Structure 1
Amino acid sequence: MKKLGVYFLLIFVVGMTGCGKKRDSDKFNLNENLDYCVAQASQTLKLIPGDSVLPRNITAKTGGHWKFVPFNDWTSGFWPGTLWYLYEYTGEEKWKREADRFSRYLTPLSVRSATDHDLGFQVFCSFGNGYRLTKDTGYRKTILRTADTLAALYNPKVGTLLSWPGMTDKMGWPHNTIIDNMMNLELLFWAGKNGGNDSLYDIALKHAETTMQNHFRKDHSVYHVVVYDTVTGKKVRGVTHQGYSDDSLWARGQAWAIYGYTMTYRETGNDKFLDFAQKVADVYLDRLPEDMIPFWDFDAPHIPHEPKDASAAAITASALLELSGYIKDPVKASFYRESAEKMLGELSAPEYRSNDRNTAFLLHSTGHYPNGSEVDASIIYADYYYLEALLRLKKLEEGKAVADFVPVLQK
């Protein structure tokens, strides 16, 4: 179904803005799903061995049990971030204590050399949420140190952060930038406004602009990886690492783009990023199947017999809820919000909820299909963004902003 071709009709049916809309509780009960996340996480807490590890995934290979990873795994920030969100929802000290404990496992990341771009995922999802909720100055110091560490990957000749230093020799990619890296700019934007060097903000801004120029095809679909020449700074080619092919549309990559440019608009207030966020969102929405949950790659050859990616749906739902609040056109704003609610409704249905099958929140995510890794799995970042989206929807229904914005530099 061509989503954008029918959104005016959709919004006419559901109401011009969606404000005051009563959800059918039999189909989607927001508080019930938040309580479900609390219950599932409570069970996961009991399963984590006491040796500074964090849950990453549940796959067929793990026999229905969590695979645990150390602090330096790229996903390490999502579990403490989930705990901070549970504290935000419940107000219970239990979740604050656990969130603090697991966040502190990641402290070494702020004082060692950067090995890749994922420091934003690791430290801002954990310590960033912790500081937002507690204003603990120790968290702030960790965030600022980490921002300086991440900024060391910036190449001013290219205008982006290097994503995977290890791929420079392994894949022959002298300077590579992946679309996922847009998510880590939030750490730099925040640090530049909260006591860090002004250059951190400038690096994030330049990275977003350079990526906008080079990472997208004419139809605003995204390449997973762009390779740059380190001498000239020019784009060499666009390729994939986790998608079906160099020219295919990897679902989670487009989700990162929607979220990343929505966040960049929030942090800069520049309308060009708001316009671009809509363009990349529209491509994604226009190609979705009827159930609103994408296959792992929109161009995978055996659709509809390809694995789904619940993580892409959760990321996109969260992004669209924020984006809907910035759109001046009430019809399109309502379309984005309604689309996000449909995604969350589907993710909250029995087909996608883990329930008693394991202690994660969601089933049916796809991590790295070409490598046969985390295919049709429960993955911690799917849970994180699902919970974030639920909380954002709750804030919207309470008339609150879904994300904090610091409008001026604070020194």
Structure 2
Amino acid sequence: MKPDPSLTTNDLLPSLERFWAVSAQKIELLNREYDDSQGSPVFTVAGKYTTRGWTEWTQGFQYGSEILQFDATGDETFLEMGKRNTVKKMAPHITHFGVHDHGFNNVSTYGNLLRLMNEGRIPENEWERNFYVMALQASSAVQAKRWTDLPSGGYIYSFNGPHSLFADTIRSLRVLAVGHQLGHSIMGENDKKTSLLERLVQHAKTTADYAVYYGEGRDFYDTWGRTAHESIFNLNDGNYRCPNSQQGFSPFTTWTRGLAWIMVGAPEQLEFLKTIDDAELEPLGGRDAIEAFLVKMAKATCDFYIENTATDGIPYWDTGALNTHKLGEDVYQRESDPFNDAEPVDSSAAAIGAQGLLRLGKYLDDPKYTQAGLTVMKTLLSDKYLSLDPSHQGLILHSVYHRPNGWDHIPEGQSVPCGESCMWGDYHARETALYIQRLANDDPYYKFYL
């Protein structure tokens, strides 16, 4: 991609104002038209949100979007909407033992509400606060209980089972961080207590060691910043066996949404660790070592994104998919083309990755990453990707959910999925928009932790 070196957060404020107006219309439209009895909305088909039974991992994004809308605009209609839906519908997600998505569902709802109370944006209420705290404490322990021990540490396993580590889950570590800050831990047999911070650090280290490549010769396709969606382990002896991919093209290509989850998850944890005393980190390897592997992972993945993305900052769904060669050798020297006839772009990866680029740029004080993040967001806010059709329920166009399974809608006359939205793409576009808006207005820094 080609980051715009002159772009500033203030330059995006007019586009952000339009964005939040469109966002409000989409939230109201979805609440008016979507049938909740179907299950959680996942992605759009011909502009209408539909569900897809796999795991319930998107409902927190739906109601979290309502809370972010209030955060950005001050419109209390959306605050009441988000509160009401969180109380009424999110309880099953707190104790959902079958998913690795607690940071997605519960930090996006209960966590955002607690954050707003801490910021003084919503009135202090003791019992309301206790409700949010208890939900996050329980969610953090349930998430951390999905644990596979390894000789060198361990990881939170995916819904595929104890042998499976997903790249996605580093972004869900935020619930372990919040749980730890709230003084919580996991209690096991004989009252054995396990630290949530310990599990957070160990999972992040396992992700860094196995899900990310650094050009150090792990395999023939080892390139700086390439990622594997899934890492497989032998549970008999704890040894790593191979990379895999559930939603990408292959184990040896980079599914860009998996890449994006790591891009944002690693810098967020670096920010969070600033709140932790050195003494707490010493038995886990020490601050210097922990921060070193997180910085290496964050820089590698963000560098790979910049190197393997169209000039306007929007990636194709997988950097090595079957028909990528048909896009031409200059595919990353020109703007993204959502309507091509070879492979789809994935705007949801861009919405997630943009925030990672911005956070890493701020953490390192490195304009390389900051300017890249702003460039990505400028494109997402443009007419090319912002959903301006008032009848379309999605907010950001041209996302992809599961290309290998053929779940994504291909409009008549097109060869690849395009023109559709997804709940995680819409939510993360709102998160990134709020992040930039707060920086531009010199408001409190937008963070997930306490």
Q: Sort the TM-score into its range (normalised by shorter chain).
A: 0.7 to 0.9
Out of 126, 129, 137, the residue aligned to residue 112 of structure 2 is 129
Q: SS where residue 300 of structure 2 aligns?
A: helix
Distance 1:45 1:306 in 2: 32
Distance 2:378 2:256 in 1: 19
The 3 A distance-change label for structure 1 pair 334 and 37 is same
- Partner letter of residue 284 of structure 1? Y
Distance 2:322 2:54 in 1: 36
- Partner letter of residue 285 of structure 1? I
Residues 9-54 of structure 1 show CA distances to partners (whole Å, capped at 9, x for unaligned) of x64xx2xxx66x75288xx622222222122222222213365954
2:197 is equivalent to residue 194 of structure 1: no
1:403 aligned residue: 446
Distance 1:368 1:50 in 2: 22
2:200 is equivalent to residue 204 of structure 1: yes
Distance 1:24 1:234 in 2: 48
Distance 1:363 1:339 in 2: 20
Out of 51, 54, 59, the residue aligned to residue 45 of structure 2 is 59
Distance 2:81 2:10 in 1: 35
The 3 A distance-change label for structure 1 pair 98 and 220 is same
* Aligned partners of 2:212 and 2:297 also within 8 Å: no
Residues 177-198 of structure 1 show CA distances to partners (whole Å, capped at 9, x for unaligned) of 0100111111001101112126
Distance 2:109 2:345 in 1: 27
Out of 90, 115, 130, the residue aligned to residue 73 of structure 2 is 90
Distance 2:317 2:15 in 1: 27
Alignment of 1:295-306 (within 5 A): 295-303=316-324, 304=327, 305-306=342-343
1:106 aligned residue: 90
Q: SS where residue 29 of structure 1 aligns?
A: helix
Out of 209, 215, 218, the residue aligned to residue 213 of structure 1 is 209
Q: SS where residue 404 of structure 2 aligns?
A: helix
Measure how far apart 1:111 and its partner are. Answer: 3.3
Structure 2 spans left out of the alignment, 5+ residues: 119-128, 186-193, 216-223, 275-286, 328-341, 409-416
* Aligned partners of 1:308 and 1:366 also within 8 Å: yes
Alignment of 1:120-269 (within 5 A): 120-134=103-117, 136-157=129-150, 159-164=154-159, 167-168=160-161, 175-197=163-185, 199-217=195-213, 218=215, 219-269=224-274
Distance 1:245 1:233 in 2: 23
1:393 aligned residue: 436
* Aligned partners of 1:322 and 1:402 also within 8 Å: no
Residues 349-398 of structure 1 show CA distances to partners (whole Å, capped at 9, x for unaligned) of 22212211502111110111000123433101100000111111111112
Measure how far apart 1:406 and its partner are. Answer: 5.5
Q: SS where residue 226 of structure 1 aligns?
A: strand
Residues 232-276 of structure 1 show CA distances to partners (whole Å, capped at 9, x for unaligned) of 222111111111111001111110110111112112245312343
* Aligned partners of 2:55 and 2:99 also within 8 Å: no
Q: SS where residue 364 of structure 2 aligns?
A: coil
The 3 A distance-change label for structure 1 pair 24 and 340 is closer
1:311 aligned residue: 348
2:99 aligned residue: 116
TM-score, normalised via structure 2 length: 0.78
The 3 A distance-change label for structure 1 pair 246 and 369 is same
Residues 71-96 of structure 1 show CA distances to partners (whole Å, capped at 9, x for unaligned) of 96111110011011011112222111
The 3 A distance-change label for structure 1 pair 406 and 388 is closer
2:191 aligned residue: none
Measure how far apart 1:347 and its partner are. Answer: 1.3
TM-score, normalised via structure 1 length: 0.85
Out of 393, 404, 410, the residue aligned to residue 359 of structure 1 is 393
Distance 2:262 2:256 in 1: 10
Percent of matched pairs sharing the same residue: 24
Residues 289-317 of structure 1 show CA distances to partners (whole Å, capped at 9, x for unaligned) of 12211110011232332111000000011
2:363 is equivalent to residue 326 of structure 1: yes
* Aligned partners of 2:60 and 2:109 also within 8 Å: yes
Distance 2:100 2:108 in 1: 14
Out of 271, 277, 286, the residue aligned to residue 307 of structure 2 is 286
Distance 2:52 2:323 in 1: 32
Distance 1:244 1:355 in 2: 31
* Aligned partners of 2:26 and 2:395 also within 8 Å: yes
- Number of residue-to-residue matches in the alignment: 378
Measure how far apart 1:400 and its partner are. Answer: 4.1
Distance 1:298 1:46 in 2: 38
Distance 2:399 2:36 in 1: 27
Out of 425, 436, 447, the residue aligned to residue 382 of structure 1 is 425
- Partner letter of residue 89 of structure 1? A
* Aligned partners of 1:52 and 1:71 also within 8 Å: no
2:378 is equivalent to residue 373 of structure 1: no
Out of 35, 41, 59, the residue aligned to residue 27 of structure 2 is 41
* Aligned partners of 2:434 and 2:446 also within 8 Å: no
What value does the CA root-mean-square deviation take over the aligned residues? 2.4
